[in-house]
Amino acid sequence: MILQGYEDLRVVKTIEGIKGAFESLICEEDYEKITVKALCERARINKKTFYRYYETLDALLAEMQTELSAGFIARIKDYDLPEDLDKVNRAFFEYSAGQGLAYEKITCSGSYHTIRDEMVAGVNDAGWGKSAKYQALSEFDKKLLMNFVNHAVLMAYCGWVEEGKRIPLEEVIDLTNRMVLGGVNGFFNEK
């Protein structure tokens, strides 16, 4: 349940407790191993309370995805693609670096690929959907471009996380931008 700001304090605390317990379980377990029972025990609520706010764990995960995506989309809403791709990539890394372990696991772990793919699709629609250059491409070219950009940027981020973030963030952003912008600019220059 996405809070609107006018809920009773008990409801707010319950929802925050559910989400906090869910995040901690995400950090400890693969998604397939998380149960409503374990979540309720962690949040110190009964199952009936959980089901009052969420139909399933998938619904809770989808809400979390919506909230995470919205935060990033708000950062990039004024950028034009492909012209501002370097700024979008920078915003992605800076936003991601500030999100914590649960976000890292959702973004980089194979067990969360479905929800990550939905997040990526939403971000792509928000960013690339308004690009005239992108809209002029064939469907095949659009898919090829998105696969290249998304895979390159996500793998750079996940590699940085897996390596313990030993390389300074600024260096990872610069390296990623050089590689991705070289490919994207070359792609559009050929069109």
In the prediction, which pLDDT does 110 show? 82
Cα 34 from chain centre: 20
Q: Determine the average pLDDT of the residues in 155-182.
A: 97
Mean of per-residue pLDDT scores for the chain: 92
- What confidence category does residue 62 fall into, taking pLDDT thresholds of 50, 70 and 90? confident
- The CATH architecture annotation of domain 9-54 reads Orthogonal Bundle (1.10)
Q: Which letter does DSSP use for residue 164 in this model? A: T
- What confidence category does residue 161 fall into, taking pLDDT thresholds of 50, 70 and 90? very high
Each domain of the chain, given as residue ranges in start order, spans 9-54, 59-190
Reply yes or no on whether the pLDDT at 1 is more than 60: no
Contact (Cβ atoms closer than 8 angstroms) between residue 40 and residue 49? yes
Sign of CA dihedral 66, 67, 68, 73: positive
